[in-house]
Structure 1
Amino acid sequence: MDDPNMEIDEEITLKKIQIFLAFMRNGNLTKAANEMQMSNVSIHKALHSLEAALKCSLFKNEGRNLIPLKSAYVLEEHSQKIVRDIIVAVEKTREAAGFAAKVLNLGSLYSLTVNTLPSIISGLKIRRGELDIQLLLNSNFDLVKKLKANELDAIIVALNDSTIDSAFEYLPMFSDDIFLAVHKDSPYAHLPEIDLSIVKDETFITLTKGFATHNDSDIIFKKAGFDPNIALQVSDIFTLISMVSSGVGMALLPGRISSVYESSVKLIPLQAKYHIQQEIGLIFLKHRERDPNLLALIAECRMFSKHYLPAK
């Protein structure tokens, strides 16, 4: 019966087992040395040290050749299983920690599903075809909370005060202007730019608190010097655009959604004194920066950033 408390000689190491298996596969020192990228002398010393630690012979000498004994074949059989089990243990441990898992949990904003996310995700699938990408859409605030709690592997959001954290690594991707969105038949739709003070008595629709565009809208309204007449707050940008398209009210929106309802909604640039930009970027935890899945995602985000064309 196996004794789980049996002491194992500290000279019996995984590296020596791997060297032993390489020798058994190749049948001679030179080939084993080439495979392990070591010298013949180092291979020979490792085998001799393993025999000493086991307190039994594994080989007999015939000239300059080492001939495996029955004990060597027994050790080979069991060592192969040990190495396989170690590899599986390492993979499972790394997966449990979220490192190089088969699933990437990505969080982002609803507005980035228009052009940004489809491009990044399609490129990521080319790089890592076996990767299952789980996408969660939510507000900036909630996504940051989930990233901190390790519920998400990475997020693509607006970089602002809510995303500042010493545990985070950032990759800025692009900047996006904020526009006034009105129905295409609005009396303001023909303006090349707008002074927000002239719409202070109009009805507005906004996103709920926690969304980056809600925060930016608050800053802009403060610059304009009035509290807007808010008719409705919604929890996703597409519902907001639909309300504008239906003539329920107007809204402040990022330019990246310009292609949504473009036949019924007009985006009007704000005058320079109200100008504000959202900076969109990738965020992940610093201790995960060498994760192969995240490295692939970073590469795709950099590629997107390089070719990004802002809305006009």
Structure 2
Amino acid sequence: MKIDEELTLKKIQIFLAFMRCGNLSKTAAEMELSNVSIHKALHSLESALRCPLFKNEGRNLIPLKSAYVLQEHAQKIVQEISTAITKTREASGFAAKVLNLGSLYSLTVNTLPNVISGLKLRRGELDIQLLLSSNLDLVKKLKATELDAIIVALNETTQDPAFEHLPMFEDEIFLAVNKNSHYADASEIDLSLLKNETFLTLAKGFATRNDSDIIFEKAGIDPKVFLQVSDIFTLISMVSSGVGLALLPGRISTIYENSVKLIPLQQPYKIKQDIGLVFLKSKERDPNLLALIAECRMFTQNKKSNL
């Protein structure tokens, strides 16, 4: 059966509102339309169906049996459409009950606990799934829509026209040494003098590894790398044990603070890391994402006020 193009969902919604309200004025108020618009919509619906739905008694429209039949089935249709829209939006990750968030291991020290706890207060029903990995891996998963958003270092890996960025804070890279190291008392360090030292690094793809390579190149060092690891906590533990030196961001200063010292680098070896939220522009109106954006902004404001 061919459905008349004049038979629209909007007219069905107006019809159902009229059947609930019982008169034009109440229906117009509910639908935020004029009485004339309601009347025209109902008359147009009758034309599209090619059968009467109401009879006139003075200025009143009295539903016929056909109107009650349409009401029963139209309610089911509107409910099915609403369910279809919800399921479709959830399938695309929009306003789903689960938020898939990716981030760096180093941000679990302070940033993520604050952001996630605030987000749970905003949207208590939301289930947050957290994935920790390297900058490069998280960016790939975001682009493949396996993640809804990531909190990472903003660098060349996040430069994509499909992405939106929200900068959160700036961090600095330091030389991390064991507290008993002869470098531990230095107020700052000339990295070019450490060509013969043993270093520990993160694996390729991590933002801190990328920054370390840039710093080593500036210092003219081809570092003796004793060990590469895939998480920053293992790296800090190795430094704490005196296995070697490492270049690490200042945000991890509270980890092993009794056994690891972070020493500022001399110019021109200083380098900053910009940390921020990254998400797809196509999802920027997602309610879950809007709540996450608001919480990241709140974290940034609180961090600035504590400086």
Report how many aligned residue pairs link the two structures: 307
- CA drift of 1:14 comes to 0.4
Partners in 2 of 1:263 and 1:195 — Cα distance? 24
| Structure-1 residue corresponding to 2:134 | 139
Please, which runs of 5 or more residues in structure 2 have no aligned partner? none
Question: Structure 2: which amino acid aligns with 1:7?
Answer: K
2:268 match: secondary structure: helix
1:61-100 to structure 2, matched below 5 A, reads 61-100=56-95
Cα displacement string for residues 15-51 of structure 1 (whole angstroms, at most 9, x for unaligned residues):
0000000001111110000000000111011111111
Partners in 1 of 2:6 and 2:305 — Cα distance? 62
- CA drift of 1:119 comes to 0.8
Partners in 2 of 1:288 and 1:209 — Cα distance? 29
| Structure-2 residue corresponding to 1:112 | 107
Question: Structure 1: which amino acid aligns with 2:300?
Answer: S
Task: From the superposition, tell whether residues 310 and 279 of structure 1 become closer, same or farther in structure 2 (CA, over 3 Å).
Answer: farther
| Structure-2 residue corresponding to 1:205 | 200
1:271 aligns with 2:266: yes
Cα displacement string for residues 127-162 of structure 1 (whole angstroms, at most 9, x for unaligned residues):
111111111100011111111111111111111112
- CA drift of 1:200 comes to 2.1
Partners in 1 of 2:228 and 2:148 — Cα distance? 29
Match of 2:255 among 253, 260, 275: 260
Question: Structure 1: which amino acid aligns with 2:106?
Answer: S
Cα displacement string for residues 187-239 of structure 1 (whole angstroms, at most 9, x for unaligned residues):
11111111112322121110001101101111111111111111100000000
| Structure-2 residue corresponding to 1:25 | 20
TM-score, normalised with respect to structure 1: 0.96
1:287-298 to structure 2, matched below 5 A, reads 287-298=282-293
- Could you list the runs of 4 or more consecutive aligned residues of structure 1 that deviate by over 3 angstroms after TM superposition? 309-312
| Structure-2 residue corresponding to 1:3 | none
Match of 1:301 among 271, 274, 296: 296
2:247 match: secondary structure: strand
Match of 2:213 among 191, 205, 218: 218
Partners in 2 of 1:127 and 1:247 — Cα distance? 44
Partners in 1 of 2:267 and 2:96 — Cα distance? 46
Q: CA RMSD in A?
A: 1.4
1:16 aligns with 2:5: no
1:17 match: secondary structure: helix
Question: Structure 1: which amino acid aligns with 2:208?
Answer: T
Match of 1:34 among 29, 32, 47: 29
Partners in 2 of 1:14 and 1:151 — Cα distance? 34
1:274 match: secondary structure: coil
- CA drift of 1:311 comes to 11
1:166-177 to structure 2, matched below 5 A, reads 166-177=161-172
1:189 aligns with 2:184: yes
**Larger deviation, residues 235-244 vs 267-276:** 267-276
**Percent identity of equivalent pairs:** 77
Partners in 2 of 1:41 and 1:111 — Cα distance? 62
Question: Structure 1: which amino acid aligns with 2:166?
Answer: L
Partners in 1 of 2:198 and 2:242 — Cα distance? 10
Partners in 1 of 2:192 and 2:118 — Cα distance? 43
**Larger deviation, residues 116-125 vs 28-37:** 116-125
TM-score, normalised with respect to structure 2: 0.97
Question: Structure 1: which amino acid aligns with 2:110?
Answer: N
Partners in 2 of 1:54 and 1:41 — Cα distance? 20
| Structure-2 residue corresponding to 1:47 | 42
Partners in 2 of 1:55 and 1:310 — Cα distance? 67
2:99 match: secondary structure: strand
